[in-house]
């Protein structure tokens, strides 16, 4: 599955600062645009992984759990 997110990147002195409006709290920075995008992608991945784990806590043991792919 391929996920696509928006990256808003601004230059701040010698650094590029990026954030993703679809994933609150997802921020990245780097001395190059590529570094900034890579750090932002890692932040998005970590936040989504944490949110999934958090959402699954407390699910009843007898509940059906399946993964749905959205393209």
Q: Is the pLDDT of residue 62 over 60?
A: yes
CA dist., res. 68 & res. 40, Å (int): 25
- Return the structure tokens found at 30: 């780097």
1-71: CATH topology is Double Stranded RNA Binding Domain (3.30.160)
pLDDT, residue 70, reads: 78
Q: Show Cβ contacts of residue 8 under 8 Å, excluding neighbours closer than 6 positions.
A: 18, 19, 20, 21
Query: pLDDT tens digits for 10-57?
Result: 999 999 999 999 999 999 999 999 999 999 999 999 999 999 999 999
Contact, 40 vs 19, CB < 8 A?
Answer: yes
Query: What integer pLDDT is reported at residue 2 of this predicted model?
Result: 65
> What's the confidence (pLDDT) of residue 18?
98
Rg (CA), the chain: 16
Torsion from C-alpha of 29, 35, 36, 41, nearest 10 degrees = -110
């Amino acid at each position: 599955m391929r996920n696509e997110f928006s990256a808003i990147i601004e230059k701040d002195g010698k650094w590029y600062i990026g954030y993703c409006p679809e994933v609150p709290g997802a921020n990245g920075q780097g001395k190059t645009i590529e570094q900034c995008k890579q750090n932002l992608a890692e932040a998005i991945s970590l936040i989504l992984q944490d949110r999934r784990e958090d959402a699954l806590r407390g699910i009843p043991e007898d509940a059906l759990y399946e993964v749905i792919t959205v393209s």
